[in-house]
Amino acid sequence: MPQSTWMTSDRLRFLVSGIKEHLWVKPLVLCVLSVGGIFVAKLADFAGLSGWLPAINLASVESLLSIMASSMLVIATFAVGSMVAAYASASTGATPRSIPIVIADDVTQNALSAFIGAFIFSIVSLVAVQNGMFEAAGLFAIFVLTLLVFAIVIITFVRWVDRIARLGRVVNTLEQVERAAGNALDRRRHATTLGALPVRARRSGDGGVAVCSPTVGYVQHIDLQTLQSRAVEFGGRVTVRALPGTFVSTHRPLLHVEGCDTFKAEAFSSAFKITPNRAFEDDPRFGLLALSEIADKALSPGINDPGTAIHVIGAMVRLFTLWQSPLEPDKVVAITHDRVSVPELAIDDLFDDAFTAIARDGAGIVEVSVRLQKAFSALAESGDPEMLAAVRRHSRMALARSERALSLLDDIEAVRRAAACATAGAGERMAASADPKPAAAVRQDPLTTRA
């Protein structure tokens, strides 16, 4: 019998990660805990502790709660305004694709939750105290809880002031997007086929019955456990054709099903979460694309900030170095879905997302062009044949663009010298360093596409 797929572990992980992008979740949890604290304090009256606890003046408790109630609402309103301004800054200064990352900032969400939770706690406690709900022990418990909430609010506010000063700034947004892209790349390199069989290992070709998308949008998540269960149920095999991040329409296949005559298409298509927007969680290419957009925006004439583009190039080198770094055995995902085949990410696609826009719009800025060629040279040292081929291709294209965009011969020669190390083979590197005048690159600007 196939296992239940109502809530698989993989789907639960994706849902939990998506919850972080909603601002109302943590404040709601804190509000529930705040109301629950009132009832916990009432239990002190039933514990017979009145004779052991010091007496607390009712007026002092009411005064503390009144101060908290009046101040927390103002601070919460200020926090929301600051967050909205930070989100607008991230959208205009970096890229709108970075907004979900900025919203998911834990420190900011915790601060807003603490302020709103403290406001709810003070209002409910004040109503309970003024209506004589508590006796001596319960009143002491409310007093202690109030002091504890005050301490939490003060500590949270101090931490949040440091974060809000940097929230939404380009450098901080870059760090958050790079972290999200690195996490997605790290998960994918330890599970290149998401725990399924690689497509190249399948004996059959692209045959089978195509299952198309029921709607138009981007694939955000694929529940491989559901696909495996459905394949076992119908006695067939599944080949995934649309990885997370792929734009699909009602005529583009999500997958092909082989080995079974009759099945319900909805049973397989329901494993794909399709939305109008892409997400960072399971889409490493989206993180690279967001970083590339930040650099591309910085290179626009209106902003003219090549330093940000150079910063992004450094982030790209770190991410591709992570992609090629040795695997951690405890993180490697074993193949558990033996009836499902999933294609691996192509290094050419990753390079297209990461470097095409920077090479195109930074071609006329010599410092960006040189730094880009140095990045290619650093990545060429990895020794991976696929990455070396991608490095050479993008280095040639970037050099061709720079030769067209730059007007000063000395600038062109500087870019050519930097490109020599990236395009030369292992045995040709010494010769390239001795003769800084490599063969002229093809000047034709090739067309590139993005998925």
Q: How many CB atoms lie within 10 A of CB 192?
A: 16
Nearest-angstrom CA–CA distance, 273 and 219: 6
**Count of positions (residues) in the chain:** 451
pLDDT one-digit tens code per residue, 313-335? 999 999 999 999 999 999 898 89
* Average pLDDT score, the chain: 83
80 or 245, greater pLDDT? 245
Q: Which of 196-205, 212-221, 330-339 has the lowest mean pLDDT?
A: 196-205
The helix or strand, by DSSP H or E, that contains position 29, with its residue range, turns out to be: helix 25-43
Q: Given this model, what pLDDT does residue 319 score?
A: 97
Phi-psi map region of 195: left, alpha, beta (phi>0 left; psi -120 to 50 alpha): left
Please give the structure tokens belonging to residue 104: 């998911």
Q: Given this model, what pLDDT does residue 80 score?
A: 81
Q: Which of 112-116, 266-270, 282-286 has the lowest mean pLDDT?
A: 112-116
Residue (of 183, 195, 187, 267) closest to 224 by Cα position: 195
Is residue 33 predicted with pLDDT exceeding 90? no
How many secondary structure helices (H) and strands (E) does the chain include? 16, 8
Q: Given this model, what pLDDT does residue 365 score?
A: 95
DSSP lists the bridge partners of residue 272 as 222
Is residue 201 predicted with pLDDT exceeding 50? no
Q: Given this model, what pLDDT does residue 443 score?
A: 34
pTM attached to this predicted model: 0.78
Domains in the chain with CATH codes: 9-168 (no CATH), 192-275 (3.90.1170.30)
DSSP string, 334-383: P--EEEEEEPPPPHHHHHHHHHHHHHHHTTT-HHHHHHHHHHHHHHHTT-
Section 200-216 average pLDDT? 72
Nearest-angstrom CA–CA distance, 87 and 363: 30
Nearest-angstrom CA–CA distance, 306 and 324: 27
The helix or strand, by DSSP H or E, that contains position 239, with its residue range, turns out to be: strand 237-240
Is residue 174 predicted with pLDDT exceeding 80? yes
pLDDT one-digit tens code per residue, 390-437? 999 999 999 999 999 999 999 999 999 999 877 764 334 333 334 444
Is residue 387 predicted with pLDDT exceeding 80? yes
Long-range contacts of 15-23 (CB under 8 A, 24+ apart): 17/281, 18/279, 18/281, 20/104, 20/106, 20/109, 21/100, 21/103, 21/104, 23/83, 23/103, 23/109, 23/112
3-state DSSP assignment of residue 247:
strand
Under 8 Å between Cβ of 369 and 412: no
16 or 134, greater pLDDT? 134
Q: Which of 114-123, 173-182, 241-250 has the lowest mean pLDDT?
A: 114-123
Nearest-angstrom CA–CA distance, 362 and 260: 52
Q: Given this model, what pLDDT does residue 202 score?
A: 43
- Per-residue buried b or exposed e for 91-116, using 16+ beta carbons within 10 Å of the residue's own CB: bebbbebbbbbbbbbeebbbbbbbbb
Is residue 305 predicted with pLDDT exceeding 70? yes
Residue with tokens 């290094």: 347
Section 74-95 average pLDDT? 80
Nearest-angstrom CA–CA distance, 180 and 280: 7
Q: Which of 83-97, 110-124, 144-158, 397-411 has the lowest mean pLDDT?
A: 83-97
Q: Given this model, what pLDDT does residue 49 score?
A: 64
Is residue 69 predicted with pLDDT exceeding 60? yes
Section 197-219 average pLDDT? 77
Residue (of 110, 106, 84, 245) closest to 176 by Cα position: 106
Nearest-angstrom CA–CA distance, 85 and 93: 12
CA-CA distances (angstroms) from residue 358 to 251, 348, 404, 419?
33, 16, 15, 15
Percent of the chain with pLDDT over 90: 40
Is residue 161 predicted with pLDDT exceeding 90? no
Phi-psi map region of 239: left, alpha, beta (phi>0 left; psi -120 to 50 alpha): beta
Q: Given this model, what pLDDT does residue 50 score?
A: 63
Is residue 451 predicted with pLDDT exceeding 80? no
DSSP annotation of 441 reads P
